Structure formats: structure tokens, C-alpha cells
Amino acid sequence: VGLLDTNAAYRGNLLLAIRSYGTNGKAAVPVLERLLCDSNQASRIYASVVLREVDPSSAEKAGLGTSQLLAKFNNLSKESKLEAMTILWMSERRNTAFLPTLSACLADTNAEVRLRATFLFGNYGGEAKQALPALTRLLEDSLLEVREAATNSINDIDPDFLAKLQK
């Protein structure tokens, strides 16, 4: 089966193809479940996203339901938080139930978590206005990449916000 190929990029392309089948891709569930433990982070993320779309009940059994991911989010390791954020964003880009958890990530002690959360907020556009105060604080972050991502996300959420701040 190609999904178990050693080439992670190849597996990723196959996962995207299976994703396009939606619930008609259920035959791939056993392999998707195996990929949840893959050593490659991208493979785990894509397998999680595809499993959530192909067979939501299997995703729930694997602990990948939205409510499950949000409930355990604060107790996750840095790597697992990054994975969970990506899984939720990729499979539910407009689910605003994720925004409070994402907001908490803006104050995380880990710069990678702050950076990913900051980037993801910009994708919500005007739906994420409640994050503007926290994103504004990140304009003073010690990491340049976080400051740049905060600027970009603020502009994506409210293009006039930074100009209003400067007045």
C-alpha cells in the first residue's frame, strides 16, 4: 500500500488524494489509523485530517474529535499542541469554537506555539477580532518571526487596526 511507503512526500500526496474522496475513502481507514503513529509529523497530521473527513467515528475513537482535541489541548506537549492546532485548522478552518484555545496559545511560553497560533489567527479574518489585543501584545515579542506574524495576522483580521493604533 502506497500510504506505508517510506517517502513521506509521496504518502502526503496520497493522503490528499484520499481526502478528496470524502466518506467514500473509508477503505483507507486501517492504514490511516496506522499512520497516526508515524514517525513523520506531517504524515501524522495529514492522516488525522483525512481520518476526520473520511470516517469521523474512527477519528472520535482515536481521540481526534474536535471536542476531544480541545479538552486535552492544554495538557499536550509542545509538539502535540502544534499538531493539534494544525489538525483543527486544516479540517475546520472556519470553526470558531477553536478560537479560545488558539487565543490561549498566543501567551504560550513556547515561541513555536505562539508563532503557529499567530499565523493561524490571520486565516480567520474578521471572525478573530477578539484576538486583536493579544496579537497587539505580540508586536513586542522577543522573536522577530512572531512579531512579523502578529503584524500580518492583525492586517488580515482588521486592515485598519494598526493605523488606528498609531494615531
The whole-angstrom separation of Cα 108 and Cα 152 is 19
Q: What percent of the chain has pLDDT over 90?
A: 37
The pLDDT of residue 93: 66
Within 28-143, where are the H helices?
29-35, 41-54, 56-61, 66-72, 78-91, 99-105, 111-122, 132-137
Burial of residue 165 (CB within 10 Å: 0-12, 13-18, 19+) is exposed
Q: DSSP string of 36-61?
A: TT-SSHHHHHHHHHHHHHH-HHHHHH
DSSP, collapsed to helix, strand or coil, labels residue 160 as: coil
Is the pLDDT reported for residue 1 higher than 60?
Answer: no
Q: What is the pLDDT of residues 108-133, one digit of tens each?
A: 999 999 999 999 888 888 999 999 99
Q: Which of 82-86, 124-128, 150-154 has the highest mean pLDDT?
A: 150-154
The pLDDT of residue 20: 87
The pLDDT of residue 7: 77
The whole-angstrom separation of Cα 115 and Cα 111 is 6
The pLDDT of residue 131: 93
Q: Cell numbers 478528496 correspond to what residue?
A: 20
